[in-house]
Amino acid sequence: MSRDDIYGSGKAPDGPFEFSEAVAAVFPDMLRRSIPGYAETIEAIGALARRVVRPDTRCYDLGASLGAATLAMRRAIDAPGCRIIAVDNSAAMVRRCREAVLADGSDLPVDVLEADIRTLPMENASMVVMNYTLQFLPPDERPALIRRIRDSLHDGGVFVLSEKVVDTDPAIEAVLADLHLEYKRRNDYSAMEISRKRAALENVLVPDSVPAHLARLRNAGFSHAGVWLRWFNFVSIVAIR
Ligand code: GEK
């Protein structure tokens, strides 16, 4: 696994964070050292896929990056006739995701599409995953996408939404932000790397609160929605149509 030293070296351009070739090249290390609970979320997505995916349906991985959630679903699904559609709009991510899918031994069909998830047609779904991707979309475009995801699912179909969140209580938010900073320091990011990355993500990653996510899911017509995993300000929500 190549080490993420993007903000410790001269590799990152000044300016907003982008899903560039340089980021794609170190992405697994970046996620592992930055997102508490990332590996556990991927593992749980596999377990959930085994349980909920029905024969002859589709699964979508929206903002698939290198396909970690796609491969977890692919290895777990027993139901026949299924297909996974992995979508990302970063050419660098899509190229590497296709390589990862090819290198993986399992034979469930996977389409890796370079496309914008805001305009992607979706249908006949029994599971949709958005693992840390909604946070990168303009806030005013989020409700329409959540509604289209709900409409694409069968009754009983499941949507997994993982996000960085902001706490509604500023004092708790300060504690959680501090604990996350310490988590990154423990994972060997320097104070300079942490602060450069934080500046680059300003207005690029725009977090919502957990109550805002749950209200949006209910407004979109999901019958049930709840947090199934939380570590500091990183949550994974499961919603059922
Ligand atoms: C994982 N889910 O490993 N259309 C398509 N893709 C997009 C869009 C868009 N409009 N906006 C952003 N992306 C993965 C991790 S990363 C999370 C997801 C992170 C893509 C973007 O190119 C990137 O690959 C991904 O969403 C977000 O489970 O970097 O914190």
H or E element, residue 172: helix 170-186
Q: Identify the pLDDT of residue 145.
A: 98
User: Any residues with CB less than 8 A from the CB of 75 and at least 6 apart, and which?
Assistant: 46, 104, 106
234 three-class SS: strand
- Cα-Cα-Cα-Cα torsion 51, 74, 97, 43, nearest 10 degrees, comes to 50
Long-range Cβ pairs for the range 166-172 (8 Å, 24+): 166/207, 166/208, 166/209, 166/233, 167/209, 167/233, 168/209, 168/210, 168/211
> Is the CB of 30 within 6 Å of ligand 1?
no
Q: Which structure tokens are listed for 199?
A: 């500046």
> Residue 159: which of 217, 112, 209 has the closest Cα?
217
| Residue located nearest, by CA, to atom 26 of ligand 1 | 63
Residue type, 82: C
- Cα-Cα-Cα-Cα torsion 69, 73, 74, 80, nearest 10 degrees, comes to -150
Each residue's pLDDT tens digit, 87-131: 999 999 999 999 999 999 898 999 999 999 999 999 999 999 999
**How far apart, in Å, are the Cα atoms of 27 and each of 56, 99, 115?**
32, 14, 19
Q: Identify the pLDDT of residue 204.
A: 87
CA 21 / ligand 1 centre spacing (Å): 13
User: Any residues with CB less than 8 A from the CB of 98 and at least 6 apart, and which?
Assistant: 112
Q: Identify the pLDDT of residue 10.
A: 66
| N- to C-terminal Cα separation, the chain | 37
> Is the CB of 89 within 6 Å of ligand 1?
yes
> Residue 124: which of 174, 53, 206, 217 has the closest Cα?
53
| Residue located nearest, by CA, to atom 4 of ligand 1 | 116
| Residue located nearest, by CA, to atom 6 of ligand 1 | 88
Q: Identify the pLDDT of residue 4.
A: 84
Residue type, 204: V
Please list the rounded mean pLDDT of every run of 10 residues in the chain (241 residues): 81 79 86 94 97 98 98 97 98 96 94 98 98 97 98 98 97 96 91 85 92 98 97 97 98
> Residue 162: which of 22, 31, 2 has the closest Cα?
31
> Is the CB of 209 within 6 Å of ligand 1?
no
Tallying the residues shown for the chain, one arrives at 241
Give buried/exposed letters for 208-227 (b at 16+ CB in 10 A, else e): bbbeebbebbeebebeebee
Between strands 234-240 and 153-164, the pairing is antiparallel
Q: Where are the beta strands (DSSP E) in the chain?
A: 58-62, 83-88, 110-114, 125-131, 153-164, 224-231, 234-240
Mean pLDDT of the chain: 94
Pocket test for ligand 1, best of 23, 27, 59, 65 (most atoms within 8 A of CB): 65
